[in-house]
Structure 1
Amino acid sequence: MKLSEFPYERVDFTKMEKELSDLTKALDKAKSVEEVFAIHKKYYKMQDDVMTAMVLANFRNNIDMTDEFYEKEKDYYDEKMPGFWNAMVDYQKKLYHSPFKKEMEEKIGHVAFKNIELAIKGMDEKLIPLMQKENELTTAYGKLLGTATIEWEGEELNLSLMRPYLTSVDRSVRERAWEKYSAFFEEHREELNSLYDELVKNRTEQGRLLGYPDFTEIGYARMNRNCYGEKEIESFRNQVKRDLVPFVEKLHEKRRKRLGLEHLYYYDEDVFFPEGNPAPCGSPEEIMAAGEKMYDELSPETSTFMRKMREMELFDVLGRKNKSTGGYMDMLPNYKMPLVFANFNGTAGDIDVITHECGHAFQGYLTANLPIREHNDLTSETAETHSMSMEFFTEPWMELFFGERADDYREMHFEDTLMFIPYGTMVDEFQNIVYKNPEMTPEERNELWKKLEKEYRPHLDYKDNPFLNEGRLWQKQSHIYENPYYYIDYCLAAINALQYKAWMKRDFKEAWKSYMEFSHLSASLFFTELEKKAGLMSPFEEGSIRKLVEGLED
């Protein structure tokens, strides 16, 4: 069966919550751990049914944000999921306090029970109206960006399809494209300010209703920060500023000289070569076929995975008008398969879909049949380690996509990964300060962004672009609106991915063996335990960034 043929039926949450309530009551009557686990397997099935339907509805809404049916379905889940989530937490509380807790912990693992603690910490019935409103606001933001229309050279393009012009070899084209791109955010200034203002206040109220001073505690709980906290992340941020930023600024200077420019401006930020960035050689279909060949040769497991993904048409990657921006992978639990959503636009980013998103999808495919559902409840930095590392493991096959410019791509990818880390870390510090100071005005938030840019990206020059000079670049970063506290996970994962890059240069076979073990272990261990088991250095360890930089400089 192909993805387009998968049947969709709206979840009846009244029925589901009744069944979940019955399972919760049944835990009280259970006489043995075997009875408890049998009840828990019914909980798995219910959870899988809901997630499969919701993922399908969200995906079909994303591929055409003007489809009225799936727009209404998305609104339905935005309204109903907080209540169902609360019912799931009630069930988890009962399981957590079961007389058979110790035996169940042996069955499903210590990580699962720590995650239940965090779920209890971040949820309460009184939050449901606020969470429903939060969903409404994030959906409004996604729709605003997803339905953006930019007039360009007689065409109507969305934000994703502007990418080739934002990175054009012609500097004057890049500048004009950025002006057009920025104009959209200028036009929607008030709406973007208002949406974020409401989100910050909404999330702050959620935190305070649970007795916390702000949103941070429940924000971290919802991100399943189960083996580190604010202190460790602050240490990581300080290391990035102290040890990585100076090195990355040298890379920008190297890039400036390579481009033959006297000075770098904002519209040069994503350009790496004077002849332009390497772009994929083939059509979308040829790119997908090259991806299949690459995964055929990488390993037997990746070969089977990619061929099944293609047979079931589990990719929707062509950029189209009215299609949501960005890219992601999601799981369809009832089909034991992932799907991949993206927006091909003719740039090297198209190949990142075949590497990054397929890194997520491959890991999901590997562990889809695990009998313990909690072992697939990945924390984001673990999931991003799978995807960002796959970007490097597939580099030997880049000739398939870039021909004679494969080495240019590899150099660009390496530099771009390093240059991303200060930006991603800055996003995290921005969010941390905003949620600690929820009464900040839009102007104060913009000033904060500008201050942080001077610390993390001091080379930037926005020339006379009003949108960027006001400190509003953050408004195009969807994670800030939709997934608070997520972005630092990419930075932690990038450190692991760079370690794998160095390792595979020494011994590709052993590095791949470690990666496969890391992927198979899934969420059965904490992130820090997974790193240790895989032979990776923790990014939280004092001096780890300095050690990484020293290796890169050598």
Structure 2
Amino acid sequence: MKFSEMPYQRIDFDKVKVRFEEIKKSFVNAKSGEEQFEIHKQYYDLINEIETMMTIAQIRHDIDTKDEFYDKEQAYYDEISPLIHNMQVSYVKQLYESSYKEYLEEKIGKVAFKNIEISLKAFDEKIIQLMQEENTLTTAYDKLIASAAIDWEGETLNLSLLRKYLTAKDRLVRKKAYDKYCDFFESNAKELDDIYDKLVQNRTKQARELGYDNYLQLGYYRMNRNCYDKEMVEYFRNQIKEYFVPFVQRLHERRRERLGLDKLSYIDEAVFFLNGNPEPVGTPDEIMQNGQTMYRELSAETKEFFDFMTENQLFDVLGRKTKKAGGYMTYLPLYKAPFIFANFNGTSGDIDVITHECGHAFQGYLSGKDPIKEHADITMETAEIHSMSMEFFTEPWMEKFFGERTNDYLSMHLEEAAAFIPYGCMVDEFQHIVYENPEMTCAKRHQVWIDLEKIYRPHIDYTGSPYFEKGGFWQKQLHIYDYPLYYIDYCIAQTCAFQYKVWMDENFEEAWSSYLKLCKLSASDFFTNMIKEVGLKSPFEDGGVEDIVMKLSTKLFKEN
């Protein structure tokens, strides 16, 4: 069914509550594991209905943040979603404590039961009001960012649409665009600080209500980290500092020379070539058509997937003034349909939508065929392998999107992906410091960011931007506000995607077979087990980061 034709009806909380209670009662009264599993399928049906309606409302709200109807719906779900979560936890607690747990574990898997155990540690009815307040605060941040109305030569742009000028080949244009970009954040600095401070205090209070010293343990549980912990993440970050930061500094130095500059300024941060970054050729419609051709040629599975997405109009990718910033893939379980939300802006990022977000959507499409719903509950580091690796697997088709500048794009993409990892680790360490020290002032948080940039991104020079110089760059990062502790998952995944890049350059078919297997495994096993099963090396293992840096150095600096 086409997305525009999907009916929407607000979830009636009272009716949902009655259905939950009926399912719980039937589950308790069941006389066998088989009977309980059949009742568990009724739970699937209820959750699928709830998730679908809430997701339709979210997408339609994000498509136009000024839409009064869906704005009210979003506010309604901000209020009731913690209450629904409470009912879910109450139900899965029965599942976890079932007399027939052994049979149920055989049906839905050990990972599912580990995730239930984690969910029970991450929630209690007494924090519902705090969760509602947290939802309201993140929505306030999203609305504030979406409200940007920047005058650009008589045209009004939001932050997503301004990005094209932030990467313009003319440095004067970039400087002008960055001035306007920073002016927006500077003019909203107090509100941005206030929202984040309230979020930190709110999340800390939730954690302490549940018996934790600070938010970090609760945050790890909420990220469903079921096979690695804070110490393993810290080890990974330290490996990035030791091996990846020096490697990326070499890339930045090469980029500086390529641009013919004495030093790199913040206005040069996302620019890779003196004649400008490669931009996609063709209209948005042509880009989508070329994307369909690409996926039809890549594999039988991707052909089926992209045709389904296209026929059912499961994309909203054009940038608009009142549209939420950013992009994502989400899922509509009643229709077994992924949905891709994005903001095309005329940069190479438009093609990343067709590769990165489609990587997420492709895996979602495959996992939607699995009758065990828990198998779709992938952890984020695994999800990002699907997306980041697809960016590399689709490289043979990039000429369709970049024409004569294809090689420039491929070079830029590899360098940009490598340069991201230190930044992503910095975002993660910043959040660890903030949540370990929730009493910090807003000014101190900005100083923490400045100090971390000296470690992770020593090349950066913010001279000329008072807002960035005072450590405000992080406030543009949606994940820090909306999805705490998520960002390290990108970094873990990128090291795995780089392994696929090296592998596919040696044997594309073999690498693709491994990737397809990983997508189909979904959440049927733990991340650390799955990557070994498909032939990848764990980023947490000794030598894992050093090994990929060595291979990338050989590839990127072979001319030396």
| TM bracket (short chain) | over 0.9
Q: Does the CA-based 8 Å contact 1:27-1:98 persist in structure 2? A: no
Is 1:172 matched up with 2:172?
A: yes
Residue 536 of structure 1 is matched in structure 2 by 536
Show the 5 A alignment for 1:248-263. 248-263=248-263
2: CA distance between counterparts of 1:209 and 1:308?
45
Residue 332 of structure 1 is matched in structure 2 by 332
Is 1:474 matched up with 2:496?
A: no
Following superposition, the deviation at residue 31 of structure 1 comes to 0.8
Following superposition, the deviation at residue 499 of structure 1 comes to 0.3
2: CA distance between counterparts of 1:278 and 1:190?
37
Show the 5 A alignment for 1:506-545. 506-545=506-545
Secondary structure of 2:523's partner?
Answer: coil
Superposed CA deviations along residues 17-55 of structure 1, whole A, max 9, x for unmatched, are 221122222222111011110110011111100000011
Residue 366 of structure 1 is matched in structure 2 by 366
Residue 10 of structure 1 is matched in structure 2 by 10
2: CA distance between counterparts of 1:524 and 1:74?
32
The residue type paired with residue 162 of structure 2 is M
Is 1:379 matched up with 2:379?
A: yes
Is 1:454 matched up with 2:451?
A: no
Q: Normalized against structure 1, the TM-score is what?
A: 0.99
Following superposition, the deviation at residue 513 of structure 1 comes to 0.2
Superposed CA deviations along residues 458-480 of structure 1, whole A, max 9, x for unmatched, are 00000120110010100000000
Q: Which 10-residue stretch deviates more, 307-316 or 283-292?
A: 307-316
1: CA distance between counterparts of 2:89 and 2:244?
40
2: CA distance between counterparts of 1:13 and 1:238?
46
Residue 233 of structure 1 is matched in structure 2 by 233
The residue type paired with residue 474 of structure 1 is W
1: CA distance between counterparts of 2:310 and 2:222?
33
RMSD over aligned Cα atoms: 0.6
Residue 283 of structure 1 is matched in structure 2 by 283
The residue type paired with residue 547 of structure 1 is D
1: CA distance between counterparts of 2:145 and 2:233?
30
Following superposition, the deviation at residue 197 of structure 1 comes to 0.3
Q: Which 10-residue stretch deviates more, 316-325 or 15-24?
A: 15-24
Q: Does the CA-based 8 Å contact 1:179-1:465 persist in structure 2? A: yes
Residue 320 of structure 1 is matched in structure 2 by 320
Q: Does the CA-based 8 Å contact 1:278-1:348 persist in structure 2? A: yes
Superposed CA deviations along residues 48-103 of structure 1, whole A, max 9, x for unmatched, are 00000011000000000000000000000000000110110011111101101111
Superposed CA deviations along residues 264-323 of structure 1, whole A, max 9, x for unmatched, are 000000000000000001000000000011001100111111111111111000000100
Residue 35 of structure 1 is matched in structure 2 by 35
Residue 81 of structure 2 is matched in structure 1 by 81
Is 1:119 matched up with 2:119?
A: yes
Residue 558 of structure 2 is matched in structure 1 by none
Superposed CA deviations along residues 191-220 of structure 1, whole A, max 9, x for unmatched, are 000000000000000000011101111111
Is 1:296 matched up with 2:292?
A: no
Is 1:98 matched up with 2:98?
A: yes
Residue 26 of structure 2 is matched in structure 1 by 26
Residue 547 of structure 1 is matched in structure 2 by 547
Q: Which runs of 5+ in 1 are unaligned?
A: none
Residue 438 of structure 1 is matched in structure 2 by 438
Q: Which 10-residue stretch deviates more, 22-31 or 267-276?
A: 22-31
Residue 133 of structure 1 is matched in structure 2 by 133
The residue type paired with residue 495 of structure 2 is I
Runs (4 or more) in structure 1 with deviation over 4 Å come to none
Secondary structure of 1:464's partner?
Answer: coil
Q: Does the CA-based 8 Å contact 1:318-1:343 persist in structure 2? A: yes
Q: Which runs of 5+ in 2 are unaligned?
A: 555-560
1: CA distance between counterparts of 2:304 and 2:106?
32
2: CA distance between counterparts of 1:522 and 1:306?
19
Is 1:425 matched up with 2:428?
A: no
2: CA distance between counterparts of 1:535 and 1:335?
33
Secondary structure of 2:507's partner?
Answer: helix
Superposed CA deviations along residues 415-439 of structure 1, whole A, max 9, x for unmatched, are 0000000000000000011001000
Residue 557 of structure 2 is matched in structure 1 by none
Q: Does the CA-based 8 Å contact 1:127-1:206 persist in structure 2? A: yes
Is 1:392 matched up with 2:385?
A: no
